[in-house]
């Protein structure tokens, strides 16, 4: 597995990470613990060294799962987790008060069975706590050896700059893929200027860009996608044209649509590390295979030209969640 460095931080990780949320939360019933453990350990064996979790995934269940599954490999892997919600529950709203950040760090260390958090993200920007206070608290945790690197998630450019001035930000995590390209406008140039790595989540469009979802797909009643406008039946029907584009390129490259979507992301910048999630071993293998697909300048130009003709339908979040991003 190739390695990449997240900006100027010196934090080196596998070129492809693993988003672990879906093993416990968000996309229907939690995976069986034994199956999830096998998936995580297979990922390590296949060269993945970068694992993404959060106290809010469960809450707490996902961190506990990773702590147990990755314990034998702790010194070979980089674990990222997140703080920023009241009692770890997204429905209860934000809490990035310094006292809560410290509490999350202490309890996450126990759940993860470790003595340090490699990358500690603020999960969403808290409008009630100055970002300088957040960055300062994480800076103290870094000085105490409990945290190695500071990250932000879904933050706007101004917030990134303010935080970075207090404690260098190693990575920003936000949604980015061929069907959500807003970060290209302001975020990517800011990260490049400041030397911050970028970790795209939902790099496969919450599963849509794999080609496994169509207008007739029915999600489990607990699946988050049921409330996402972009996953309404009409939007899925309209957005199929993006999957068709990926499929046509995949056919030329002896690859899958998902692999092309991931290879496209990897080709954008050398400091981009996508974190696709999955509960299935065959999907894990498929995603890892994307690292070896080289898209030429001509391929990228063709994708760009074709994608520019496609109008993606539907907002990526319902209104109440959209309010939490880009601050």
Distance CA 246, CA 293 (A): 14
**Could you tell me how far CA 304 lies from the centroid of its own chain?**
23
Q: How far apart are the first and last CA of the chain?
A: 35
**Residue 149: C-alpha distances to residues 34, 289, 325 (Å):** 30, 28, 22
Structure tokens at 137: 């608290």
Catalytic residue among 27, 57, 121, 176: 57
- Tokens 């030429």 label which residue? 296
* 118 CB burial (10 A radius; 0-12, 13-18, 19+): buried
Whether the Cβ atoms of residue 242 and residue 204 lie closer than 8 Å to each other: no
Which one, of 203, 191, 326, 207, lies nearest residue 267 by Cα?
203
**99, two tokens:** 């006292």
Under 8 Å between Cβ of 258 and 287: yes
As a 3-state breakdown, the chain gives helix, strand, coil percent values, each rounded to 5, of 50, 15, 35
> Please, how many CA atoms are within 13 Å of residue 119, restricted to the half-sphere of its CB?
30
Decide: 154 and 324 in contact? Cβ < 8 Å: yes
Alpha carbon distance 225, 246 (integer Å)? 21
The size of the chain, in residues, is 327
Give yes or no: 27 in active site.
no
Token digits of residue 79: 């674990």
From 277, 290, 312, select the one nearest 181 (Cα to Cα). 312
DSSP label at residue 294? P
Catalytic residues: 57
């Amino acid at each position: 597995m190739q390695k990449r460095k997240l900006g100027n931080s010196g934090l080196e990780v596998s070129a492809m990470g693993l988003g672990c949320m879906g093993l416990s939360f968000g996309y229907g019933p939690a995976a069986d613990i034994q199956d999830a453990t096998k998936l995580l350990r297979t990922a390590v064996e296949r060269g993945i060294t970068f694992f993404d979790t959060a106290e809010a995934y469960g809450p707490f269940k996902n961190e506990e799962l990773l702590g147990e599954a990755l314990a034998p490999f702790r010194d070979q892997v980089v674990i990222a987790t997140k703080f920023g919600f009241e009692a770890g529950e997204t429905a209860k709203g934000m809490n990035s008060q310094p006292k809560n950040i410290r509490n999350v760090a202490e309890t996450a260390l126990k759940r993860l069975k470790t003595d340090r958090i490699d990358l500690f993200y603020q999960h969403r920007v808290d409008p009630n706590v100055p970002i300088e206070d957040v960055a300062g608290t994480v800076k103290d945790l870094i000085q105490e050896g409990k945290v190695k690197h500071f990250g932000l998630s879904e933050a706007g450019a101004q917030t990134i700059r303010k935080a970075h001035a207090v404690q260098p930000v190693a990575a920003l995590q936000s949604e980015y893929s061929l069907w959500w390209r807003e970060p290209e406008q302001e975020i990517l140039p800011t990260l490049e200027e400041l030397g911050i790595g970028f970790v795209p989540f939902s790099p496969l469009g919450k599963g849509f860009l794999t080609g496994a979802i169509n207008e007739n797909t029915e999600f489990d009643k607990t699946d988050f996608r049921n409330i996402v406008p972009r996953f309404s039946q009409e939007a899925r029907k309209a957005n199929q044209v993006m999957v068709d584009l990926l499929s046509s390129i995949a056919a030329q490259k002896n690859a899958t649509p998902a692999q092309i979507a991931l290879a496209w992301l990897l080709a954008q910048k050398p400091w981009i590390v996508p974190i696709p999630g999955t509960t299935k071993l065959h999907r894990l293998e498929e995603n890892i295979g994307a690292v070896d697909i080289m898209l030429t300048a001509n391929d990228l130009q063709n994708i760009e030209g074709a994608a520019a003709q496609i109008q993606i339908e539907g907002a990526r979040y319902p209104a109440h969640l959209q309010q939490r991003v880009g601050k």
